[in-house]
Every structure is written in structure tokens, then in C-alpha cells.
Amino acid sequence: MFQKAKWIWKAGEILSDEFADFIEEFDASGQAPYTLTIAADSNYTVYLNGELAAFGQYADYPTYKVCDRVDVTKFVKAGKNRLVIVVWYYGDDTQTYIHGDPGVIFEIREQDTPICYSDESTLSRLSRDYISHVRQLISGQLGYTYHYDATSYDGFIDCDVTDGFAPSVLMPMISTDFTLRPVKMLELAPRTQAQLCLQGLFDYVEKQHTTPDKMMQHAALRHRYPEQISDMRGFFGFDKPVHFKTEDGAQGIFFIVDLGQEWAGFLDFDIEVPHDCQIEIGYGEHLADGRCRTSVRGFSADYRAKKGRNQYLHTFRRFGCRYVQFFVNATEFTVHYAGLRPTLYPVTAKKFEKGNLLQNTIYEVCANTLLQCMHEHYEDCPWREQALYCMDSRNQMLCGYYAFGEKDFPRANLKLISKGLRPDGILTLCYPAGKDFPIPSFSTVYFIQMEEYIRYTGDVTLAEECYPVLDTIIHTFIGKLQDSGLIENFYGEGGYWNFYEWSPGMNGHFFEKVRSMESPLNAFFSLALQSMAKICDALGKTREAGEYRALSKSVNAAIAKEFYNPETKLFESFDNRCRGEYSVLTNALCMLCGAADGVDKTNILRILATNGKDNCGYTVHPNTLSMNSFRFDALLAYDREAYAKVIIDELDRDYFHMLRNGATTFWETIIGLSDFGHAASLCHGWSALPIYYYEMLL
């Protein structure tokens, strides 16, 4: 990948949450093409001759380093050129990053000749404008937010200032076994339209709050109409400057913009202030509190504005939101623009016209939900986590095969997931993930994903490559088989979380310490065995396929013997708790895997068809949006003709409910913004399932 480049970092002490600047100057003859090859731990932004040329490190592992190759011909000029790279080193484990050594490696080639590359002579320094080492979390999944000081920026990107720079140090411990980015790079879209929706005055009256998220959440607000605070009424967008001014004795002025829909993108603003001042920035998916709900996690950043014009585009951390708020610590300023630059994976969504107006609209919004959750990899949500999970991404892949016809993206994700194999033989919770408490049932979904990838793409090479991982995982589960024919749960050392879904009794316990038998885990295991058999069929492993099918039937019989209650005609979920309570998901899984083949299904079908509304006189917990696929598939496998309309009608009803309540992307659960301690996502990839069922059933 590299001919001369070496891994480097700035000299001096290394700490987490650290920004470093790197400068190289080089001569070019003008003989195109020019290509930049680059990788970093943890994230990078590249400027060539003062212009933004590249951004966004692929989410990789310390032992699986991914580099980008970018055509930078349009940025290179004949003669002297300046390359500037800013790197953000995260340094601390999260559920989207694994701790590695800080570093950047880059090389520009003129045709095939290196003319600029990283080595110990490359000048570098600790960034002055980005404030390092604050370590303020947005969330434990997503990692740190950022803090910027425009008053300390010395113009080094596009002028000759090199104050404070020194030669770099080599980082030879970082892997040089590179893989080219397996998916397309993100595209930076034009600025979103941004409509002023709230504005007023604020005071930070509770002095114990020192982080921007809490300061804004607890600020005293006085809302004002446009004519009371600005010289313009009812404006849309910032296509011409808007002046804000007040003499009403307040610490500052706040304003909130509506982007019109949920977006995932980079903060972008152009604000003119009469003096140096602080700007706190928050973002969110709703305004139920009269402001963005910033402190349910840490949905904020801050910016020290310099006197005059402040034009700022942040290209490291994506915001997932519909609303962006600005608390400007000044009583007068002018806004030229404030909003986001969406960063999108370049795919084109199919136009669906097989349904009625409602169904076609639901399909379109589902496709947008998927798109806002596709970046370096699939994400559960763009707002709170931006994390890759097996269960979530299974739904996203299944829908994406239809909506986008995309094959490279699911392939890359399935390979990335394979890198998360733990020493105990199951997969980590997310990929990559330094903080880990694995969900064993999600490891079984990997087999379903891999089999569906083969089915929809015809590609068996990935399964061949990942077969050792698949073999390890399946035999880890087989190794837990007991004399009863069932596998026991995962518990004890390892920090296991026996989660199935967000419904009563089914969300499990963190760091499970108690041994139990659990029917949903065994049903997932049976489904994994069936998918593994199909994978083996595709790979020509006939003997193994037969063995996995036979074992699946044996597990199904054991599930029925242990968990089916002939009096209630329903499956229990656990042998040590929630007795007499029934889960729709558990019964859907037991039906789908075949454990219900020899029992009376009357009550199972009733609770599945109504998602527990018809509870047969028992305590029945419905399944959530994320798990509808198992329920729907169980019903369709039993009687497609009888249940197709039931499924379509339910999708139409539930998703119309979200649309009627303002959804531009679909929610984590049908409850909406009040779920999960008022931190529920209103854009969640797993909720795009109507795409798959509309395609199949309409």
C-alpha cells in the first residue's frame, strides 16, 4: 500500500482525546494523476492547499488496519503544495473504538512515484485550535465530543505559519498489514436548509453545571418572537444574513434551527460576533422540552468564537439530529448560516410504487432511515451510538438488498464483524468495540446474516474466508449442550448480557452470574444451526450440513419438552424466572425454529397474529419493532396466504402512527421519544423492516 511512508505521531507525551497537526510541503510537476493513501488512529481530516480534500478513517481494529486511497488531482498544483492533516486520537475504549497507539501514515504519489510521505522529518504539533484531553463523553458507545478555540487558530492550514511544529516520532508498533477501504468513502452533501424555529434569551443560573450539555439543558430561557430579537421575521434558511440583537439584560441569545428532517452530518456554521465569545452547541431529534434534550447523554460541543467572522465546518464527529441549537454568549451577532453538512454513503434508493400512497411513503421513509444509519459501517442509530450490532445490521442488510441493491457494504460489515471474535468463542457486542459485554444471542444472528448474504448475492467467498470464525462460534454453543439436550445460558466471567429485546423479562441482566436454561437462546441456537447447514451446503460441506440439521431437530425437541406448557399452549421463556408470563418473541422463535412443530399452536398463533393483544387470558408481553421479523416469518411459514394481510395491515397502522407524529425516519420503539429514560432514538436502522415485507407481500 505504501512505498516510503511510515507511521508517525507528534513528539512528547501521549494522552487520550488528543488532536495533532501534521504539515508537509512538496513540489509537483503537474503530471496527473495524484493519489493520497492514508490511514490513522483514530480519525483524520486532510487539507491540500487550504481545501478540504479527504476525511473519515474507516472503523478498523489494531490488527486490521484499513487505509484510504483518494484521488486528489484537483487539489494539487504545479509547483509548491502544502499538505495539512489533522488527526484526532481517541485513545480510550468505547463501543465504537478499540484502544490503539496514535498515529498517521500517508503518501501522495504523482502517477506511481511518491512525492510526499510521512516519516520522522514530517513536522507536527499538538493542535492549538482543537482543545485536547477534555474527555467529555457524548455517550459510552459513541465516545468523546470536541471543543474548538478559534481564537487560537494561527492559519497554518493555508499560510506559512509553522510555529510550534517539530519533527515527528516514528510509531513502528502499529500494524503495516493494510487493507484498502472495502466500501466507498462518504460524500459530503451541500448544506441543509435550516429554518429558525425557536429563539430567545438565556442565563446559566445553576453554576454547578460546567459541561455544555448540562448548561444548556438547565439554562433559564426566555423565548422571544423574531421581531423581538432579530431584524427579520419568518425567514427560512440562512440565504442572507440574519442579525440578532437584544438589550433585555441576559447572558446571551439562543436560537434553534430545524433541518426539516433527521440528518447525519457535520456541524457547519458561519457566525459573525462583535467580540470573542463562547458558543455552546447542542443537537437532538425533537424539541419536547422547548430545547434539544442535550443532557440525557452529552449531545453537545462548544466553540470559542473570535471577534469577526467565524466560518467553521467540523469533519470528525457526526451529529445525528433534526434540530441544532446555538447558545451564543453575546447580546448581538449575525448568522450567515447554521446547520449541518450531511455525510452520506453513496447509494441510490429504489423508488417503490407497488403499494398505495401510505405504503409507498413508508417505504421511502424506511429507505431514508437506512441511509442515515449507513456510514463507515451500519449503525443502530446516528444520534446516540453509531454502533454496529449483529441484530440491528441483520435487519438493515435484509432491507438494503431490496432498497439499494448494495452488496459491497453488507460484505464489508460481515467481515468486520468476524474480527470481533472473542477468546471465549463468541462475538463482541459491537464492531469494533473496546468496551464489551457480549450478547450471546446476537452471535447466533451472524449465521442468519451470512446465509442471507449468500442467498441475496450468490457470493460464497466471504463465507469461505470467515468459515473458521463461524466454525468456532457454532462449536462454542455446541460445547454448552447439557444432558437435557439444551444449551445453558452464558454467565460468570466474561461479562455476559443475555438480552433478547426491550420487553419485560427479555432484556436480561448485565454481567449475568446465575445459571439458567432459556428457550429464546436455544431457539436462536437452533436457527443458527439451520443457517450454518445452508452455509455448508453452499460451500459443498454436505456431511457437516447434515450434522447441523440433525442437531437442530434434537434441540427443537428438547425446547418443546422443557418449555412448552400444555395447559396454556404457550412456550415459557426461562426455567428460573418469569414463570406464568409469556413473551411473543419467545413463542415466535420457538415456532420459527421448529420447536412448536409437534404441539398445539392455537394460542401461539393468536398471540403472534395480534402481537399479544389477544393474550389468551394470560400475561403476554408483545415484541418490539426490532423483532417483528421473527414473528412475521413464523406466521408466513405457517400460512402465508392467511397472514400476509395481517402483517401488511399492522405495518401500515404502526408506521402511519409514526408518520402522523412527525417521523422523517422511523423510531427505535413504537413508544417513541419517551422510551429508555427519555433517550430513545427516533432514527433506528432495525425499524426499516416494512421494506422487506412490502417487497415480499405486496
pLDDT tens digits along 550-575: 999 999 999 999 999 999 999 999 99
**Full DSSP string of 591-623:** HHHTTTTTS--HHHHHHHHHTTSS-TTSEEEPP
What is the spatial distance between Cα 379 and Cα 388, in angstroms, rounded to a whole number? Answer: 5
Reported as a single tens digit per residue, the pLDDT across 459-501 is 999 999 999 999 999 999 999 999 999 999 999 988 999 999 9
For residues 489 and 517, the answer to whether their CB atoms sit within 8 Å is yes
- Mean pLDDT on 601-625: 97
The label of the residue with cell 507511521 reads 7
Residue 656 has pLDDT above 60, yes or no: yes
The answer to whether the beta carbons of residues 16 and 124 sit under 8 Å apart is: no
Please give the model's pTM, rounded to 2 decimal places: 0.96
CA 289 to chain centre: 25
Instruction: State how far the Cα of 449 lies from the Cα of 76, in Å rounded to an integer.
Output: 43
pLDDT at 225: 64
28-60 pLDDT, tens per residue? Answer: 999 989 999 999 999 999 999 999 999 999 999
For Cα atoms 514, 517, 520, give the angle at the middle one, nearest 5 degrees: 115
Q: What is the mean pLDDT of the chain?
A: 95
Residue 237 has pLDDT above 80, yes or no: no
Convert the pLDDT of each residue in 102-159 to its tens digit. 999 999 999 999 999 999 999 999 999 999 999 999 999 999 999 999 999 999 988 8
Distance from C-alpha of 67 to C-alpha of 576, rounded to nearest angstrom:
49
481, with CB counted inside 10 A (0-12, 13-18, 19+), is middle
Residue 494 confidence (pLDDT): 85
Q: Domains of the chain, with CATH numbers?
A: 8-161+175-184 (2.60.120.260), 188-344 (2.60.120.260)
